[in-house]
Amino acid sequence: MTKTPAPSIETPEPLEQLLSQLAFGSELHFESGFCGHWNMLANKSSKAALHVVTQGRVWMAIPGRLHQQVQLEAGDAIFFSHSFRHWLSDEPVNEHSSEVDLVNVCVPDHIEQGLVCYDIAVESPLTANLFQVMPDYIHLPANQQSGRLSPLIQLIRQEAQARQPGYQAAISRLSDVVVLHLLRQVLSDDSMQQGLLAALKDPALRRVVLAIMDQPAADWSVDNMAALAFLSKSAFAERCHKVMSMTAKSLLDELRLQRCRYLLIHSEQSLEMIAEQVGYQSATAFIRFFKQHETLSPGEFRALHN
């Protein structure tokens, strides 16, 4: 009888290289059970974040994007690549929602509803670049968690519910491992590979992406991007289309847009200063570029997230 070879468990070299170079530190920020009507509005910070629903259902909503609310079930995880204002609530949020005093609704256990929340500090330029090109948030339902991520999240849920001595230390120390497994799934799952995330897995395109992120205001052309990737102009254009379903120009625009969005949310710099940092010679040209991609003006976008 022919013996079926065991499936390979080796990690593809480009992904292993990328994951091994990431540096971050996560810590437990908040954990509680809830009862009755509750909500909380998380403010922006300099850190990324991860929320795990331990029990019940929780709604996540972003001010200004209330039509895109996400319902989270027990066992779901939601990862925020950079911190910005968002609601967590027992029911859908509306424009009239106001914060509830959590002291009156938090309970010791997680029988009805519960959350465990982590802060994630970025500790290397590569990690900062990776988080910047990721979507604002990634929702991983319990039934779509692959590999060892699902058992780890189940362990967090069990520890939070059982509340045995040392449970907070246990769920805190699990955080780095959970974040690493989440990033592994995001970066290795073909169904999640879109645009810039896919480019980071390609060694040639990764060089270009990281270089543009390092100097978004440089005079980038298809020729010098192709040279950096060690490809001809036509081969580079073909690689962009194959890996990211983007043109080379779209790649540059998307990276500059990501940097614009980050600066508008996390800095108080003027529009003129931001325009200069991303390669636009005037605030007018920058505003035109931003509205073309975001529909909002930079000022409206900043107000929405602050």
3-state secondary structure 174-205: CHHHHHHHHHHHHHHCHHHCCHHHHHHHCHHH
d(CA 8, CA 301): 46
CA distances from 151 to 45, 74, 133, 296 (A): 29, 13, 28, 41
Tell me the torsion sign for CA atoms 158, 182, 168, 70. Answer: negative
Quote the pLDDT of residue 34. 94
Crossing angle (nearest 10°) for helices 13-20 and 175-188: 150
d(CA 162, CA 183): 28
CA distances from 63 to 3, 84, 90, 174, 201 (A): 57, 10, 16, 30, 32
Quote the pLDDT of residue 127. 85
Quote the pLDDT of residue 14. 64
d(CA 149, CA 266): 30
Q: Are 149 and 185 in contact (CB under 8 A)?
A: yes
Dihedral of the alpha carbons of 222, 226, 232, 238, in degrees to the nearest 10: -80
Q: Are 34 and 107 in contact (CB under 8 A)?
A: yes
DSSP 230: T
Give me the tens of pLDDT residue by residue for the chain, a chain 306 residues long: 434 344 444 444 667 777 887 889 999 999 999 999 999 998 877 789 999 999 999 999 988 888 889 999 999 999 998 777 899 999 999 988 888 988 888 988 898 999 999 999 988 878 887 888 788 889 999 999 988 899 999 999 999 999 999 999 999 999 999 999 998 888 877 666 667 888 887 888 988 988 998 899 999 999 999 999 999 999 999 999 998 889 999 999 989 998 898 888 878 899 999 999 999 888 999 999 999 988 889 988 888 777
DSSP 4: P
Cα-to-chain-centroid distance, residue 266: 15
> In the beta sheet, which residues pair with residue 39?
89
CA distances from 146 to 98, 137, 154, 186, 294 (A): 36, 18, 13, 10, 33
Amino acid at 109: D
Rounded to the nearest 5°, which phi and psi values hold at 15? -70, -40
pTM of the model: 0.76
The token duo for 204 is 């040639």
Quote the pLDDT of residue 31. 94
Domains of the chain (ranges; CATH) run 13-192 (2.60.120.10), 195-305 (1.10.10.60)
Query: Helix and strand tally (H, E) in the chain?
Result: 13, 10
Quote the pLDDT of residue 1. 41
Q: Beta 48-55 vs 113-122: how paired, if at all?
A: antiparallel
Quote the pLDDT of residue 190. 67
Q: Beta 137-140 vs 77-80: how paired, if at all?
A: antiparallel
Quote the pLDDT of residue 193. 61
